[in-house]
Amino acid sequence: MLKGKTALVTGSTSGIGLGIARSFGAQGAQVMINGFGDVEGPLAELRRTGARVIYHGADMTQPQQIADMVRTCETELGSCDILVNNAGIQHVALLEDFPVERWDAIIAINLSSAFHTMRAALPGMKARRWGRVINVSSVHGQVASAQKSAYVAAKHGLVGLTKSAALECATSGVTVNAICPGWVLTPLVQKQVDARAAADGVDNAEAERRLLLEKQPSLQFTTPEQLADLCLFLCSDAAKNIMGQAWAVDGGWTAQ
């Protein structure tokens, strides 16, 4: 389905981004991955799909490194046709206790990086008259939770940025949309499960159950594979008139 296309997925060494990169590779796309931690494992795994995969280590807090990442994707892989802005971090604290440095990092990684990648990638997409941008927002792009002020602000901002970019691209063959997952059991959420287990004095399974019970009516985690399938749909011809949407995959969280 994606033969001849090139995808850049930020924050794809782990979790949701790795799931999306895996699925793009399996569909025949060339893929540039990005992120921290173990790089060789994901690279080897993705190359087993037969896809051409390269890595760029840009730090999403650094605009110049982000510009270099997009440029390298275009020069080494020939284009950047699909851009998934997925890199993200979380910090949980009351607003008055929120470290300023964590606020700045969350706004930079979860919001501003998408501005910098789109700024660099949209001209090429528009010139080729085909492109797909998928911004990984969150249910927290639509509703709030306490103690997540920076994350909620960034993810709401990302939904707004998505709408604005979509309007600018509306006649160009390029679509820009956001996806808004509820709980997905990745390292980012495991930290919150661990915190719940410690606070409530319960085991991991019970902490997972309590986390879901509080917000996600399906009582099931969304999986990276389900999100990857949604991304594939957004890349398809069937989705070419879907623009500026924020698509929840949240087990009913925001229906309440």
Of 23, 17, 15, the closest CA to residue 55 belongs to 17
Q: CA-CA distances (angstroms) from residue 141 to 27, 156, 218?
A: 29, 4, 20
Coil, strand or helix at 247: strand
Work out the end-to-end distance of the chain between its first and last CA atoms, rounded to an integer number of angstroms: 36
Residue 25 CA to residue 51 CA, distance in Å, equals: 5
CA atoms within 13 A on the CB side of 31: 33
Rama region for 234: left / alpha / beta (φ>0; ψ in -120 to 50; rest): alpha
With respect to ligand NAD, which residue has the nearer C-beta, 55 or 130? 55
Nearest distance in Å: CB 206, ligand NAD: 18
Decide: 43 and 53 in contact? Cβ < 8 Å: yes
Residue 35 CA to residue 60 CA, distance in Å, equals: 9
Among 107, 170, 189, 239, binds ligand NAD (CB under 6 A): 189
Among 21, 54, 60, 80, binds ligand NAD (CB under 6 A): 60
With respect to ligand NAD, which residue has the nearer C-beta, 172 or 254? 254
**Contact flag: residue 14 with ligand NAD (CB under 6 A):** yes
Residues with catalytic function:
151
Q: Interface with ligand NAD by CB under 6 A: which range of 20-28, 53-61, 211-219, 232-240?
A: 53-61
**Contact flag: residue 248 with ligand NAD (CB under 6 A):** no
**Contact flag: residue 181 with ligand NAD (CB under 6 A):** yes
Nearest distance in Å: CB 160, ligand NAD: 16
Nearest distance in Å: CB 241, ligand NAD: 25
Q: Interface with ligand NAD by CB under 6 A: which range of 15-23, 73-81, 201-209, 230-238?
A: 15-23
Residue 124 CA to residue 213 CA, distance in Å, equals: 44
With respect to ligand NAD, which residue has the nearer C-beta, 146 or 238? 146
Chain positions contacting ligand NAD, by CB under 6 A: 11-17, 34-37, 59-61, 86-89, 109-110, 136, 138, 181, 183-184, 186-189
